[in-house]
Amino acid sequence: MASIAQETSSMHEHDVPLELTTEDGSLRILGFWIFLAAEVILFSCLFATYIVMHGMTSGGPTSKALYDVPGFTLETFFLLTSSFTCGIATYEMRRGNKRGVIAWMLITIAFGLGFLGLEIKEFVTDALAGATMQRSGFLSAFFTLVGTHGLHVTMGIFWMASVVIQIAIRGIDTMTSRKMFIVGLYWHFLDVVWIFIFTVVYLTGKVL
Amino acid sequence: MMHQLVHFGDTFLMWKEGPMIWGSDVLIGLTSVGIVFFLLYFKKVKWLWTEWLTTVDHKKIGIMYILAALLMLFRGGTDALLMRSQLAFPNEHFLTAQHYDQIFTTHGTIMILFMAMPFVIGLMNIAVPLMIGARDVAFPYLNAISFWMFFFGAMLFNLSFVLGGSPDGGWTSYPPYVEQMFDPGPGENYYIMGLQIAGIGTIATGVNFLVTILKMRAPGMTLMKMPMFVWSILITSALILFAFPALTVVLAQLLIDRVAGAHFFTTTGGGMPMMYINEFWIWGHPEVYIVILPAFGVFSEVVSTFASKRLFGYSAMVASMVGITVLSFGVWVHHFFTMGAGAAVNSFFGISTMAIAIPTGVKVFNWLSTMWKGRIRFTLPMMWTSAFIPCFVLGGGVTGVMLAVAPADYQFHNSYFLIAHFHYTLIGGTVFGMLAGLTYWWPKMFGFQLDERRGRWAFWWFVIGFNVCFLPQFLLGMMGMTRRMYTYPTGLGWWIPNLISTVGGFMMGVGFLLLVYQIVWSILHQQKDLTGDPWDARTLEWSLPSPAPEYNFARTPVIHGRDEWWYIKRGKFKQEFVEPDIRPIHMPNSTGRPFLLALCMFLVGFGFVFEWYVFVALGLAGVLALMIRRSFEFDYYHYIPALEIRQTEEALGRL
Amino acid sequence: MQTTRIGKLFIVALVPLLTLTGCGAKIPVLQPKGPVGHEELRLIVFPLILMTCVALIVFALFAWIMIKYRAKPDNADYVPPETDGHSLLETVWTVIPILIVVAIAIPTTIVTFRLQKPPGSAGNGPTAGAAAKSASSQASKQTLVIYVASSEWKWLFSYPQLGIETVNYLDIPAGQPVDFQLTAIGPMNSFWIPALGGMEMDMPGEDLGLWLEADKPGTYIGRSAQYSGSGFAHMSFNVTAKSPVDFQQWVSNIKENSPQLTTAKYEQLLKPSQVGAMSFSGDINPNNYNGSKEMTGMPGISSGMPIPGTVGNSSAAGSSSSTS
């Protein structure tokens, strides 16, 4: 498969990961890290709003009453596992094992879908109990923060699916390895954000 | 049926609102017809599509940004003159309160977000790749997306005037006034969506230029050998990256409040309007540094070029810009000292605000030292720079420090003193800087010079008019006049300063018209730039022909030090290239998909404005489809053959 | 080129002189009538003088450099020297601005803290007890408390210690500090009486404090300094500082002659409208209303024309009581 991205002449293939052997690859990976910095700021603002508005329950449900421990624990398990399987997929990519990459990515997507399903169930249950974002400032902040993360996860699933298809068609080359690496970065980032959500929103919310 | 049409006309087209709306409708209609006619008659439709709407070339994207900025300068300026006409005399009511409120809102929003930002980003696009020896930015496709997102965000915002009503909450749009409870209707939604769409484009620009500057400099150009303008853009890009997501979040929260009935900033249900104000200004203060730092970069280039002397204190200039940036994230409360934060918080932020004057002062002294013992040529770029120094020192420095003193601000806040201060920094700093940059890089962009004589007429009318307009406003503030008043009574002594201010405003209008005249005249009487270096300048872009060829550099230059081109000309550096001969050059393909993607976002925005969610769904589906299409695209480059490059270079007299 | 530039500077300097001649002596920020305004003016003038000195030095240097080092036909072969920097100069022009900032920062901090409360007060908060309402509350330097509530396009002033309420005008005793407790029922506004001192915002759901004092009897104008919709520009109100005797008389007059402020009347007042000046006996604490669900708040559109009797569009006081 011809790769039309330019090669940089002074790199030895066995020292440097495949996705970084082209100029385009290293540009895009750096660009994505930088984009993630912007996403950190975005989520920080959502977290700040949530923390400030945690007590603005306006007589409605509080975090202690609302959050369901088994529910969010299971969500956490699913998402963290999916991050782990994504890591295995990247390892398989380093080994040049196309089948392995596809298999582990499909497992990652499955766990991601499981996470989403659980989260949708959580939101629906909340809404049916009268805890909607229209009820109070606290709930507006909660649903926006967790919902934004969920939307990001949804987009990540679409993205991973498209990368899996591309690897199936083209195999592992400089471009597909770069795409795989970047979507992996994205997915791990969402995992890190979830760890903060788990701690700052759910755990803290059950206690305070 | 007739009744429904009438109802539609009344509610959405606002035909009951009077002559201003009808006049605008007629003008817009005529202009649109005129453009379509022009394109069809001169058979330019294909040209428009292939050369401009599908381009990913940073030089063309930069030109489009600047053209848009000048058009928006006209629109925002018209808003300003309408306001100043009303305020020329007490108790004027030719603009009702609602009209006036919409006009000051659109004036501020357009000038900051749709005039200053595109002007800055346009100059970035034109100059940065050329100055670092690169062939384009890191992500040309994304660059095109940035432009079209800005364009359609601005289009959406401008549409509000004739379709549904413009926002009227001020450019800062504070809740709870802008919540559904007090301000229903599409106006405020236009504000939210116009800014949101353009803002996403801007974040992409920040990413793009950070990677470009960090990774695509020609070999030998270390960070400390870059031109100062490029430093200013590197830092501005970091500012964009860290500030704009806050705007994205706060606009989204406001939208969710308005269309979904949430309680982020409402008066009931546990909403906290103060949260909006904090979030908005955490973005808002870095935003003003985003528009001023590139102007500082332009001044550094212009001063050293036209004094024929290297920039004084390069390291201090870099350090001061970094200092300004870091500090700019720690001052936002000075926009609301009067919101009851308490003495400790107000004191802290007052001191941090004053502290920014220190690195800024260092820069001014460095510019003066560059000019000292130089040989100063007062070309137009240098004139605009010379006007900047007194205006910015007065309006930014003196009055800025005065406003930073919290107890003084208790009197000045939201008064005309504040308005005068920020117009001195925004016009005296940003606009003058952008005009300096435009007149400086114009020959490189278009291949011919701007006429100096006519440019000077524009300069004097604009600069003198600007001072006549805004100097009296300091006094008005101290006389107790607050901003955003649609009229004022007699007997307070406010009439004469307002009248003088209005005269100044119209002088600025004349200056703008003369600027347009200068441009048109120069296009018609082209004084071609045949050397590529009409100013005897110092940086790499002037080593290229004017206008630069599509691929910029036929061979990648090797850099030996600062002001590389200057020292090549004087024989101190040898002109070297990475490639021993001309090779085929790898260039990205033109594509219409950025245009289409932004059009889909326009649809999304339009849908949210009127809460017609079919449009939102369609638009988002379109965006998703285009993104997937892009993801599956592997072959988006072509090569320019070496023969073609050689022929181009020969034709330009370079070989 | 240089002469026209000097000409430009001259015109620029002329403008403030021209404007000053046309307006008489009505610059409240520069002519404060109370201790808060005086403190704030000192903090305006001191940085102004300091920063103007810096600015003048910069302007002078700039003009001299432009003139002396301009390009002329006879210096066409002058080659400027390659100067990279100068450590001493750079240190000096960094350190001196730091010192100037410190010099301004110190009084800023001191005064910011000092302006939090009236001097000598130990937090004379609103005490609704009978003792506070007695005639002895006019003892010097005890703080008068006024609850200020902005509502769409009017001001409601409640005097809890005295049991009266006024709309769109304010009477205060001269020589006595007044503690304004600011809130809003509806959009934000900002309470500003420039002749007496700086402003503070009033916000729904919040209760911010601002103290002001008038040195002597007199009439001043107050207005809202935070845009709140189409009627915002009309939200000016007259402030009359009266001698303590006159003030007591005015209070008694209101209590005897003005209608009672009922809850129904209050809620009607809260609806978006522009009303003239009114007085009531009995007062209502606006903090019971801010952010409450009772606020129906459909936006009203003001007609844009000054309503006859609306205070602020003429300098005449529009209060319905007559003592002055």
pLDDT in tens, B38-80: 888 888 899 999 999 999 999 999 999 999 999 999 999 999 9
Q: How far apart are CA A91 and CA A93, in angstroms?
A: 5
Minimum-distance CB partner of C314 among B364, B489, B493: B489
For A70, half-sphere exposure in the C-beta direction (CA atoms, 13 angstrom radius) is 1
Which residue in B has a C-alpha nearest to residue A166's C-alpha? B632
Helix (H, G, I), strand (E, B) or coil at B20: helix
- Judged by average pLDDT, the poorest of B14-23, B259-268, B294-303, B574-583 is B14-23
How many degrees, rounded to 5, is the angle at CA B476 between CA B472 and CA B481?
Answer: 150
At C250, which helix (H) or strand (E)?
Answer: helix C244-257
Of chain A, the end-to-end C-alpha distance in Å amounts to 57
Give the pLDDT confidence score for residue B11 in this predicted structure.
75
Judge contact between B312 and C85, C-beta under 8 A: yes
At C245, which helix (H) or strand (E)?
Answer: helix C244-257
Q: Do C199 and B411 touch (CB under 8 A)?
A: yes
Determine what percent of chain A is predicted with pLDDT higher than 90: 87
Q: Do A140 and B246 touch (CB under 8 A)?
A: no
Chain B residues within an 8 Å CB radius of A34: 207, 210-211, 241
Q: Which of C8, C5, C1 is nearest to B464 (CA)?
A: C8
At B369, which helix (H) or strand (E)?
Answer: helix B357-371
Estimate the crossing angle of helix B117-132 against helix B273-306, to 10 degrees.
50
Helix (H, G, I), strand (E, B) or coil at A169: helix
How do residues B217-261 score in pLDDT, each as one tens digit?
Answer: 999 999 999 999 999 999 999 999 999 999 999 999 999 999 999
Determine what percent of chain B is predicted with pLDDT higher than 90: 88
Q: How far apart are CA B487 and CA C233, in angstroms?
A: 7
Q: Is the pLDDT of residue C122 over 70?
A: no
Q: Mean pLDDT across the stretch A117-133?
A: 96
Interface test with C, best of B95, B100, B177, B320 (most C CBs within 10 A): B177
Q: How far apart are CA B276 and CA B252, in angstroms?
A: 11
Which residue in B has a C-alpha nearest to residue C184's C-alpha? B267
Q: How far apart are CA C28 and CA A86, in angstroms?
A: 68
How do residues B358-374 score in pLDDT, each as one tens digit?
Answer: 999 999 999 999 999 99
Q: Mean pLDDT across the stretch B296-305?
A: 97
Distance from CA of A37 to the nearest CA of B (A): 8
Q: Is B74 exposed, middle or buried (0-12, 13-18, 19+ CB in 10 A)?
A: middle
Q: What is the mean pLDDT of chain B?
A: 95
Which residue type occupies B222?
T
Residue B46's contacts (CB-CB under 8 Å, 6 or more residues apart) are none
Give the pLDDT confidence score for residue B158 in this predicted structure.
94
For A71, half-sphere exposure in the C-beta direction (CA atoms, 13 angstrom radius) is 16
Judge contact between B96 and C303, C-beta under 8 A: no
Q: How far apart are CA A185 and CA A83, in angstroms?
A: 10
Chains contacting chain A through 3 or more C-beta pairs under 8 A: B
Q: Do A38 and B270 touch (CB under 8 A)?
A: no
Chain B residues within an 8 Å CB radius of C5: 386
Confidence of residue C276 (pLDDT cuts 50, 70, 90): confident
Judge contact between B326 and B465, C-beta under 8 A: no
Chains contacting chain B through 3 or more C-beta pairs under 8 A: A, C
Judge contact between C186 and C204, C-beta under 8 A: yes
Q: Mean pLDDT across the stretch B145-168?
A: 95
Judge contact between B340 and B379, C-beta under 8 A: no
Strands C178-185 and C144-151 come out as parallel
Minimum-distance CB partner of C101 among B315, B354, B477: B354
- Residue B15: C-alpha distances to residues A69, B18, B20 (Å): 57, 7, 10
How do residues A149-162 score in pLDDT, each as one tens digit?
Answer: 999 999 999 999 99
Which residue in B has a C-alpha nearest to residue C46's C-alpha? B402
Decide which of C218 and C120 is more confident: C218
DSSP characters over B617-641:
HHHHHHHHHHHHHHHT----EEEE-
How do residues B24-39 score in pLDDT, each as one tens digit?
Answer: 888 888 988 988 888 8
Q: Is the pLDDT of residue C309 over 50?
A: no
Looking at chain C, which runs of residues are DSSP E strands? 144-151, 154-159, 164-167, 169-173, 178-185, 189-192, 200-202, 208-212, 218-224, 237-242, 278-281
Judge contact between B599 and B625, C-beta under 8 A: no
Confidence of residue C128 (pLDDT cuts 50, 70, 90): very low
Q: Is B261 left (phi over 0), alpha (psi -120 to 50) or beta?
A: left
Two tokens at B371?
Answer: 């000019």
Minimum-distance CB partner of B480 among C40, C54, C194: C194
> Could you give phi then psi for residue C230, rounded to 5 degrees?
-70, -25
Q: Do B368 and C61 touch (CB under 8 A)?
A: yes
Q: Is the pLDDT of residue B83 over 80?
A: yes
Q: How far apart are CA B611 and CA B628, in angstroms?
A: 27
Distance from CA of A26 to the nearest CA of B (A): 9
pTM: 0.92
Residue B547: asked if its preceding bond is cis (omega within 30°), the reply is: yes
Q: Is the dihedral of CA A150, A151, A156, A161 positive or negative?
A: positive
> Could you give phi then psi for residue B206, rounded to 5 degrees?
-60, -45
β-sheet bridge partners, residue C238? C169, C221
Mind spelling out the 3-state secondary structure of B71-126?
Answer: HHHHHHHHHHHHHHHHHCCCCCCCCCHHHHHHHHHHHHHHHHHHHHHHHHHHHHHH
Distance from CA of A115 to the nearest CA of B (A): 22
Q: Is the pLDDT of residue C5 over 80?
A: no
Mind spelling out the 3-state secondary structure of B582-601?
Answer: CCCEEEECCCCHHHHHHHHH
Interface test with A, best of B181, B240, B587, B634 (most A CBs within 10 A): B634
How do residues C136-177 score in pLDDT, each as one tens digit?
Answer: 344 446 899 999 999 889 999 999 999 999 999 999 999 999
Decide which of C209 and C302 is more confident: C209
Two tokens at C124?
Answer: 């004379």
Q: Is the pLDDT of residue B318 over 80?
A: yes
Q: Is B315 exposed, middle or buried (0-12, 13-18, 19+ CB in 10 A)?
A: exposed
Distance from CA of B246 to the nearest CA of A (A): 6
DSSP characters over C12-31:
HHHHHHHHHHTTTT--TTTS
Q: What is the mean pLDDT of chain C?
A: 79
Give the pLDDT confidence score for residue C262 in this predicted structure.
87
Determine what percent of chain C is predicted with pLDDT higher than 70: 75
Decide which of C23 and C282 is more confident: C282
Q: Do C113 and B390 touch (CB under 8 A)?
A: no
Q: Which of A36, C223, C148, C64 is nearest to B368 (CA)?
A: C64
Chain B residues within an 8 Å CB radius of A53: 264, 270, 272, 275
Query: Tokens 């002749």 label which residue?
Result: C195
- Judged by average pLDDT, the poorest of A107-111, B499-503, C22-26, C28-32 is C22-26
At B576, which helix (H) or strand (E)?
Answer: strand B576-577
Q: Do A135 and B269 touch (CB under 8 A)?
A: yes
Compute the count of residue pairs across chains B and C with CB atoms less than 8 Å apart.
332
Q: How far apart are CA C188 and CA C199, in angstroms?
A: 13
Give the pLDDT confidence score for residue C117 in this predicted structure.
86
Residue B153's contacts (CB-CB under 8 Å, 6 or more residues apart) are B114, B193, B194, B195, B196, B197, B198, B199, B201, B601, B602, B605
Judge contact between C164 and C249, C-beta under 8 A: no
Chain C residues within an 8 Å CB radius of B184: 299
DSSP characters over A38-60:
HHHHHHHHHHHHHHHHTT--TTS
Chain A residues within an 8 Å CB radius of B261: 133-134
Q: Is the pLDDT of residue A85 over 90?
A: yes
Q: Which of C220, C212, C226, C176 is nearest to C195 (CA)?
A: C220
C166–chain B Cβ distance below 8 A for any pair = no
Q: Do B347 and C109 touch (CB under 8 A)?
A: yes
- The counts of H helices and E strands in chain C are 6, 11
Q: Do B270 and A57 touch (CB under 8 A)?
A: yes
Q: Do A133 and B586 touch (CB under 8 A)?
A: no
Q: How far apart are CA A18 and CA A33, in angstroms?
A: 18
Confidence of residue C268 (pLDDT cuts 50, 70, 90): confident
Judge contact between B507 and B459, C-beta under 8 A: no
Q: Is the pLDDT of residue B622 over 90?
A: yes
Q: Do C94 and B484 touch (CB under 8 A)?
A: no
Give the pLDDT confidence score for residue C130 in this predicted structure.
36
Two tokens at A189?
Answer: 């980032």
At A125, which helix (H) or strand (E)?
Answer: helix A98-128
Give the pLDDT confidence score for residue C20 in this predicted structure.
54
Judge contact between A166 and A179, C-beta under 8 A: yes
Q: Do B368 and C43 touch (CB under 8 A)?
A: no
Q: Which of B282, B268, B348, B325 is nearest to A48 (CA)?
A: B282
- Judged by average pLDDT, the poorest of B6-20, B439-453, C82-96 is B6-20
Interface test with B, best of C5, C19, C90, C313 (most B CBs within 10 A): C19
Residue C229's contacts (CB-CB under 8 Å, 6 or more residues apart) are B101, B177, B182, B183, C152, C153, C187, C272, C299, C302
At A153, which helix (H) or strand (E)?
Answer: helix A137-170
Q: Is the pLDDT of residue B535 over 90?
A: yes
Give the pLDDT confidence score for residue B29 in this predicted structure.
86
Q: Mean pLDDT across the stretch B264-276?
A: 93
Q: Is the pLDDT of residue C303 over 60?
A: no
Give the pLDDT confidence score for residue C121 in this predicted structure.
56
Two tokens at C301?
Answer: 């559109």
